[in-house]
Amino acid sequence: MTNEFINFEKLSRTRWQELHQATTPPLTEKELDNIKSLNDKINIQDVIDVYLPLISLIQIYKHHQENLAFSKGIFLQKNAGKRPFIIGVSGSVAVGKSTTSRLLQLLLARTYPNSRVELVTTDGFLYPNDSLISRNILDKKGFPESYNMELLIGFLDAMKSGADASIPVYSHEIYDIVPDEKQTLLSPDFLIVEGINVFQNPQNERLYMTDYFDFSIYIDANSKHIENWYLERFQALLSLAKKDKTNYYHRFTEWPFEEALAFSQNIWKTVNLVNLEKYIEPTRNRAELILHKSKDHKIDEIYLKK
């Protein structure tokens, strides 16, 4: 165990799985296929071994959050208003955050059938490309300075207060914020916030996004493995964009394949790897739980904060 994980309890996948009485997963293989990202490898066994114990743990935290809110209300002599249980999910580009977040959303909705479970990605809080270009930071997209953190913190604050909110929508197809489109959230019971920057807040060192989370997860893997997954995903995106001229990735389908691949390798090394090593990975010890993936995408180790 490295010093970074000194405040964590390390559990093997087998040990983690033993913490939960195996039950029939509340989703089908087809439903799982529908929510997993392009090149992610996850099956029903992974749901049983890893995600059902995780849902049990979240239930414990949720119960604790409700008790604490109730006790605080008594102490302050005021009625504790309804507020969502907020879960942050972080990790590198291409590590599988989206699959984990969508799976959590589905499992929580099945576990709490009368609850509203919403999912937002922090991509929606990126500045639009025009704004990034005018600031000369388009090549820094995904870096801390490319996010409107004030808007993001304001959104989390509204959610924590039990208010409704509308937020911008990002599209990977056009590689930009979608003009005139909003995602509206009506006081959810659970809110999952997914993004590479969810443990960061560089613009105001006194306030971290993690202050708003009731539970948080970091998805970890060796950067060489993540690079391979990134390149696999890039190739999958190319094949999807081949016949769609409106797709951002279509332009690369007109390049020689080796040239397109070299371009994506360069983007990984100069942008995504730098961002991972400088800004994303250093925040992982702010998570409550770290899910570590091996070369084949399988979660092999779990670190739970002591």
CB atoms within 10 A of CB 122: 25
CA atoms of 173 and 171, how far apart (whole Å) = 5
Q: Is 19 exposed, middle or buried (0-12, 13-18, 19+ CB in 10 A)?
A: middle
Half-sphere exposure of residue 244: CA atoms within 13 angstroms, side-chain side: 11
Residue carrying the six token digits 């409106």: 246
User: Does 98 show up as a binding residue in the annotation?
Assistant: yes
User: Does 95 show up as a binding residue in the annotation?
Assistant: yes
Which H or E element spans position 266? Answer: helix 257-267
Answer for the pair 202, 150: CB distance below 8 angstroms, yes or no: no
User: Does 97 show up as a binding residue in the annotation?
Assistant: yes
User: Does 93 show up as a binding residue in the annotation?
Assistant: yes
Which H or E element spans position 110? Answer: helix 97-111
Residue carrying the six token digits 């590689």: 175
> How far is residue 274 from each of residues 36, 46, 114, 211, 283, measured CA to CA in Å?
26, 30, 43, 26, 14
Q: 3-state DSSP call for residue 152?
A: helix
What lies within 8 Å, CB to CB, of 137 at 6+ separation is 143, 145, 146
CA atoms of 285 and 257, how far apart (whole Å) = 39
Binding-site members are 91-98
Binding residues for ATP, as ranges, are 91-98
